[in-house]
Amino acid sequence: MLNVVILNGGRGASTIIPSLLARQRLHITSVVNAYDDGKSTGLIRRFFGMLGPSDIRKVQELMLPKNDPDHENYVTLFQYRFPLDCNREDVLEQLQLFLDSESIELIGIRLNNIRVREKLKVFLAEFLTGLNTIEKTRQEQFDFADCSIMNCLYAGAFLTSNRNIEQATKSIDRLFQLRGTVLPTSIEDKKLVAQRENGEILYSEAEIVELRSNVRIEQIYLLDQILDKSTFATIDNNEKRSYLERHHCYVGVSPGVRLALQRAEIIIYSAGTQHSSLYPTYMSAGLAESISDNHSALKVFITNIGADYETPSYKASDYILGAHRYLNLSDERNYGMEELFDVIFINQSHFKDDETYVEYDEEGFHDISIQCLVDIFESEDNPGKHNGTKVVKTILDLYEDKHFQ
């Protein structure tokens, strides 16, 4: 059994993880940051004082066992959001009905497995009890509109796990008998913010994702508290930068992630949104050390196929240089490229007419002493996305060459 660790966001590895899972004799561990604070995830975080389960949930959905007779029902559960026009009292009544009756349906989703059903009742009861207390304390009602039901269940799992997001994640893994493991990068509840090169502040992970611009993001930070926009807007850009640097929190990588990296035979840096999904993972203290100390693992970096709103003018070298910078941000030692990466995958195809492709800038790699593998990694059937089957086959071929030549 080969241990594979992939560092990814919620959607960036959506073709690669299923292709890894389709292979025999691989154990997959996905490492995901939990700083998401958009939509209902932001509300859950604010009410329950926890990290965001959104991206973790998306990857766990990919890992639901397809041979389970309830597979389709579980997918529906993981994807279900309450309607935008839902009535709060009706929602609470539906949830309470599931707890109090012998019904095998939660919000109309059939749950045939009694073990799953009873455990979800435990999570739901904790969520509702906790919510009742928090609402009284805050004197504010929770808005269920467009809220993910799994986020609510995750909050319950969090409360039953002594407020530890890693343990809550593992309890969901075990409950649904997932085909792999998903771990949060860190268990520390911090808020993600960013500053663009022009000084503009992005006050949350949601703003990093949603406020699109051609101005590059200069730096991301992790803070204990949400910034007060009205106060912060009155100070100049240099003062803002100074404040963010002074208050940036150096969070440690979670124990589970450290152990997974120590045991890994293959480590994959996935494609994805850099500043909201990947760089926050890379900047965790101890992550670079754990990767560097594993001398035998094959370490593969996958560049994006298309430029996105977070990296509007990035070339291939910008991705690897950015990753290297953030991996070194929180550790005392400055790790060299060759300690953290063995090979970079760079796509060279252009199957989509309206796509802005990430170009291979050969001159940008003159001072980068690791192997560049330039090939067609884009899917012809799904242009703009990676061909997961080819990417995984290439990685496994490289592993064979590294260890069995």
Q: What is the pLDDT of residue 348?
A: 95
Do 54 and 148 have their domain in common?
A: yes
Matching residue, tokens 């508290």: 225
Q: Give residue 179's pLDDT band: very low, low, confident or very high (50, 70, 90).
A: very high
207-262 pLDDT per residue, tens = 999 888 888 999 999 999 999 898 888 898 889 999 999 999 999 999 999 999 99
- Residue 363 domain-assigned (yes or no): yes
Q: Rounded distance, CA 11 to CA 17, Å?
A: 10
- Residue 262 domain-assigned (yes or no): yes
Residues near 379 by beta carbon (within 8 Å), at least 6 away in sequence:
15, 351, 385, 386, 387, 388
In 3D space, the residue among 359, 393, 218, 280 whose CA is nearest the CA of residue 401 turns out to be 393
Q: What is the pLDDT of residue 73?
A: 98
Do 142 and 197 have their domain in common?
A: no
Do 162 and 227 have their domain in common?
A: no
Q: What is the pLDDT of residue 405?
A: 58
Q: Rounded distance, CA 189 to CA 224, Å?
A: 8
160, 184, 208 — which closes off a domain? 184
Q: Rounded distance, CA 222 to CA 166, Å?
A: 19
Q: How far apart are the first and last CA of the chain?
A: 19
- Residue 24 domain-assigned (yes or no): no
Q: Rounded distance, CA 296 to CA 403, Å?
A: 9
Q: What is the pLDDT of residue 95?
A: 97
Tokens of 360: 């291979």
Cα separations in angstroms, 377 against 57, 119, 347: 26, 41, 5
Do 322 and 393 have their domain in common?
A: yes
Do 262 and 322 have their domain in common?
A: yes
Q: What is the pLDDT of residue 308?
A: 81
What CATH number did the domain enclosing 399 receive? Answer: 3.40.50.10680
Q: Could you tell me if 281 and 7 are in contact, meaning their C-beta atoms sit under 8 angstroms apart?
A: yes
- Residue 32 domain-assigned (yes or no): no
- Residue 15 domain-assigned (yes or no): no
Q: Does 189 score more than 80 pLDDT? A: yes
- Residue 1 domain-assigned (yes or no): no
184, 210, 230 — which closes off a domain? 184
Do 290 and 396 have their domain in common?
A: yes
Q: Does 340 score more than 80 pLDDT? A: yes
Counted domains in the chain: 3
Q: Give residue 60's pLDDT band: very low, low, confident or very high (50, 70, 90).
A: very high
278-302 pLDDT per residue, tens = 999 999 999 999 999 999 999 999 9
Nearest 10 degrees: CA dihedral of 22, 26, 27, 28?
Answer: -50
Q: What is the pLDDT of residue 355?
A: 79
On average, the pLDDT of the chain sits at 95
Cα separations in angstroms, 345 against 292, 360, 377: 19, 10, 8
Q: Which domain holds residue 196?
A: 191-247
- Residue 10 domain-assigned (yes or no): no
Q: Rounded distance, CA 173 to CA 303, Å?
A: 29
Q: Give residue 401's pLDDT band: very low, low, confident or very high (50, 70, 90).
A: confident
Do 221 and 353 have their domain in common?
A: no
Do 49 and 81 have their domain in common?
A: yes
- pTM > 0.85: yes or no: yes
Do 151 and 200 have their domain in common?
A: no
Dihedral sign, CA of 83, 88, 90, 91? positive
- Residue 4 domain-assigned (yes or no): no
229, 247, 265 — which closes off a domain? 247
Do 70 and 115 have their domain in common?
A: yes
Do 172 and 195 have their domain in common?
A: no
Do 178 and 313 have their domain in common?
A: no
Cα separations in angstroms, 343 against 146, 305, 346, 367: 41, 16, 10, 14
